[in-house]
Structure 1
């Protein structure tokens, strides 16, 4: 399963928040959760909606991750070569 977040201005809808489990709130699409297909499995794609409070929290975490790495031995913005 993969989760791709892409917080960008978009249309808001009333619904449930994926992150905090509150319902009946104004939410915005924050990304998509995908599962790969394979033998006996059908690939799936589920949109992820978050409330405005969780959107702010995700944006704050994103900004923090850009300035301070989660692991001190890895500089922010660099990818591990696997």
Structure 2
């Protein structure tokens, strides 16, 4: 389950400047440096807007949820 208070704290921890978001391809929006793609020839910085950073954090949280959690609310007996 995503902790939205933690997401807000994560978003507040970045330094933002005007730039282009690599994920949604919007230009001249508030973006933060979130990492780099490194190859033997170059380092490419990745900048993302607040909306995309939030979406990436939620994706990360969902990918690391215990697999059994999605079945917790299912009935134990067949309904028919």
- Decide: shared fold, TM above 0.5: yes
Tell me what 1:18 maps to: 22
- Per the TM alignment, residue 68 of structure 1 is displaced from its structure 2 partner at its CA by 5.0
- Largest Rg, 1 or 2: 2
Which residues of structure 2 form unaligned runs of 5+?
Answer: 1-9, 68-80
Partner of 1:29: 33
Counterpart-to-counterpart distance in 1, 2:14 and 2:62 = 23
RMSD: 1.8
Pick the structure with more helix per residue. Answer: 2
1:1-82 matched pairs, under 5 angstroms: 9-36=13-40, 43-67=41-65
User: Runs of 5+ in structure 1 lacking a partner?
Assistant: 1-6, 37-42, 70-82
Higher strand fraction (1 or 2) = 1
